[in-house]
Amino acid sequence: MLEADFFEVSDEFVNLANEMLDEWAQPMLSAAIMHAAARFNAFNYLSQGEQDSPAQAVEFLTNQYRQML
C-alpha cells in the first residue's frame, strides 16, 4: 500500500463525513463513523484468519486506533 493511496482513501471518508454534516449532528456522525469503522475492522481482522481471543483482538484493534491518532 502506498502512503499517498492511504491518505487519498482516508480523505474520501473525511470528505463524505463533512458533506453529511449538513444533515446530521457532528456528535452523532462521529459516533456512527466510529461504529462503522469498528464493525468493518473487526470483520477485516477475523477474515485474516486470526485465532486470537476476543480480548486479544480488542487489544490489537485498540492499539491500531491509538496509532492513527
- Residue ranges per structural domain of the chain: 25-69
Helices (H) and strands (E) in the chain, counts: 3, 0
Confidence check: pLDDT of 51 > 80: yes
Label residue 52 by pLDDT band (50, 70, 90): confident
Chain center to CA of 16: 14
How much is the pLDDT for 26?
97
Model confidence over 7-30: pLDDT tens digits? Answer: 999 999 999 999 999 999 999 999
Label residue 47 by pLDDT band (50, 70, 90): very high
Short-list 16, 21, 17, 65, CA closest to 40? 65
How much is the pLDDT for 25?
97
